[in-house]
A and B are shown apart, each in its own frame.
Chain A
Amino acid sequence: MNRSDFFKRIRQVEAELAAAHLALARLDNQTREDITILTISSVAPNDIRLALGKLEHTYLVRMFAAFEYALRLYLMSVRRRAVLPRTPATHLIRIAAGRLSVPIDTVRKVDEVRELRNGFVHEGRLDTSLTFADCRARINRFLGQLPHEIPPAIR
């Protein structure tokens, strides 16, 4: 696995967010003009607006999962383990940060992204203090500390 693969995954999540946003925004527009396009589905106009309003947060969850996956693969590689015990994201971040000598400010900023993700996942909180692009930049700064090549863990 290369570090660049992790960046590609994150970029792909962002591209899918843009596609979903475009599709939902168009559907929202169309239903405002012609509500009958929803008659054969169980989707209500309000569902579309809610989905649109939560879209960035929904995709943040996916992006953060890609980040966690990258940290897990890295830690499995350096510890030469085929599996990693279930570890909360906060610990993963700290352990990886220690190994990689990630600057404290970068760790703090990623922690704020984690808290934003948690607020949405566990409490449905739509904290808008950070945009998706802000979160992506913070996560990528952390991932930028990974080595270029991450050898596979021993299986």
Chain B
Amino acid sequence: MTSTDQDSNSTAVRDEWLDLLAQLTNTIKQWVQENEWLVAEQQKTITEDKLGTYTTCELHVRSPQGNLIVEPVARFVAGAEGRVDISAFPTLHRFLLIRKDGRWQLRTDSGVPWPKEWSQTTFLELAKHLVAAP
């Protein structure tokens, strides 16, 4: 593969990843707004060896019980095709949302698969538990 081929492939992977992140953040924004929670976007710059530097956004969610940050981490992670962290603020208790087999899946902070499917109900439940954790 020539370096031009590699560059165009990297661009395609990066664009696909950015599309996925945009879809994810839009979905989460919709979920939290339906629940009448406040949400704000903040730009985040990520640098990855294979993709270079790109800009995406993280979400800052304010629920009645506390605050959450939904933060894209990287496209290239071991054993998955992308990772986004969902952390309570300020404790930084965290769940990992990983992209695998074409869908989003939840893991505990130590990597144990979460038994529930990624959905609005699961997200809202997790959010409540995360911010309530001591």
Taking a contact as CB atoms under 8 Å apart, the answer to whether B90 and A141 are in contact is yes
Interface of chain A residues 102 through 155 with chain B (CB within 8 A): 133-134, 136-137, 140-141, 143-144
Residues of A within 8 A of B133 (CB): 137
Taking a contact as CB atoms under 8 Å apart, the answer to whether B109 and A133 are in contact is yes
Taking a contact as CB atoms under 8 Å apart, the answer to whether A136 and B91 are in contact is yes
Verify if B52 is at the interface (C-beta below 8 Å from A): no
Taking a contact as CB atoms under 8 Å apart, the answer to whether A144 and B93 are in contact is no
Verify if A59 is at the interface (C-beta below 8 Å from B): no
- Nearest CB in chain A: distance from B23 CB, A: 26
Verify if B89 is at the interface (C-beta below 8 Å from A): yes
Taking beta carbons and an 8 Å cutoff, which residues of B are in contact with A? Answer: 89-93, 109, 133-134
CB<8 Å pairs between A and B, sample of 22: A7-B90, A7-B92, A11-B92, A14-B92, A133-B93, A133-B109, A134-B134, A136-B91, A136-B92, A137-B91, A137-B92, A137-B93, A137-B133, A137-B134, A140-B90, A140-B91, A140-B92, A141-B90, A141-B91, A143-B90, A144-B89, A144-B90
Taking beta carbons and an 8 Å cutoff, which residues of A are in contact with B? Answer: 7, 10-11, 14, 133-134, 136-137, 140-141, 143-144
